[in-house]
Amino acid sequence: MKHYEKFFINGKWVSPNGDGIAEVINPATETVIGVVPLGDAEDVRNAVAAAKAAFPVWSSMPPAERSQCLQRALYALSRRSGELAKLIANEVGTPIQFSRLAQVGLPVASLGTASQMAARLGEKEQIGNSEVTREPVGVVACITPWNYPLHQVVAKVAPALAAGCTVVLKPSEIAPLNAFAFAEIIDSSGFPPGVFNLVSGLGGTVGEALASHPDVDMVSFTGSTAAGRRVSELASQTIKRVALELGGKSACIVLDDADFETAIPAAVQACFINAGQTCAAQTRLLVSRDRYERAAEIAVATAEAVRLGLPLDEDVTMGPLVSANQRERVRKYIEMGISEGAELLVGGSGVPDGLQTGYYVKPTVFGQVRNDMRIAQEEIFGPVLAMIPYENEEDAIRIANDSPYGLSGGVWSGDLARAKRIASKLRTGQVEINGGKFNPLAPFGGFKQSGNGRELGVFGLAEYLELKSIQLP
């Protein structure tokens, strides 16, 4: 049981202004595993004031010294990686093996990258008679989600700090315990007071107070498209910079020359990753009508082989959804798919056998889906795959792009040149070819209503830098 009673503001653990709390529920057992305080606008004002006061010192610190602070944090995070993998498995329901790899492994990698990039900052570029410099944008509000909580915290906070910005972090109240652990790591790593501040709370109070605060220079937000729209509205009042990583309804195109025995299982898993609670999940599987029946058989077999169960069980490949509300949302979408006329191939909205306790949902595959159905157009955020037949290559591209989102996608083909040509026509921020692995150094972000800006690597760091031109005589 983790019980946090204070926020981390100006280098100290301080009592919140109010007395509200949020209970953190283990989604596999439905028991309370932690409590955190809920902040208000006054807590936000205190945190932003601390970040603003710390900015001149931190931004003018030599890059090598900022890098050393980040390296100390990296060492502390690495030492606690096993503990944090279990903590996030219990907070989110992520199976422990994947929690080690993604929920903690990616943050460790991102923090290491940020520490290296920090040491290389400060270079000036000569363009004609102009000297061009890159300077930190200022005070950054980082608002993070629950599905990959620590990954999103570090993906925002680490490059912002590397750039010389100061930060106020608002983690999701659904999975905040890892963020408090990260604040402990920062506290132990020798950062100047006020450089990093943590205030937990609800989006409607703490989130909105951060987005509208005149002394916040930038908001980096990950979450739903609706919430991102609200953040943009509030931020526009003070013309602050906004980076948004929002929803997705990504398509995986399996071409007729692909190896279906490899491609289809991989495509199904690309939908079911983290129980489908992944913004970049490939939730639409597009297959040639001529080979649809075989693809459906393999997809069903893959879904039936998923091992549902307790996240800390090493053999489990899918845990529960994060909350009762999320489970209910996903079940409604499954029922909606049936009412829309899609063919339920496997799964459904019922309780999985032997899992009456916990927010579990059956891995579900719908066949003969039309792309105008709501299950094909709206982000479900659960283990629900929509199989859509296409007539030819051009039809597949049309269907893939017929979405308000554009975050990710996939192409499978026996011809790499053909796959790359298809990938170039997809209006999306990233495309995996033949199961290409996630690259934490490559830019991550989306087109259309999937957001704006990019995270990770040098591209993510650039979001936190302003360009200045000094005209020389």
Report, as residue numbers or ranges, the catalytic residues: 245, 279
- Mapping DSSP to helix (H, G, I), strand (E, B) and coil, where does residue 144 land? coil
3-state secondary structure 311-376: CCCCCCCECCCCCHHHHHHHHHHHHHHHHHCCEEEECCCCCCCCCCCCCCCCCEEEECCCCCCHHH
CA distance 430 to 407: 7
For residue 35, list its beta bridge partners. Answer: 3, 23
* Residues 412 and 369 sit within 8 Å (Cβ to Cβ): no
- Residue 409 contacts by C-beta under 8 Å, 6 or more apart in sequence? 250, 251, 252, 253, 282, 400, 423, 426, 428, 430, 431, 432
First to last CA, the chain: 64
> Of 18, 465, 54, which Cα lies nearest the Cα of 205?
18
Identify the residue whose tokens are 């033949």: 434
CA distance 388 to 286: 5
Q: What angle do CA 96, 102, 108 make, to 5 degrees?
A: 115
Q: Across-strand partners of 88?
A: none
CA 417 to chain centre: 30
What b-and-e string marks burial along 185-194, b requiring 16 or more CB atoms within 10 Å of the CB? bbbebebbeb
Is residue 267 a contact partner of residue 233, using CB atoms and an 8 Å limit?
no
> Which is nearest to 445 in space by CA: 421, 423, 464, 463?
463
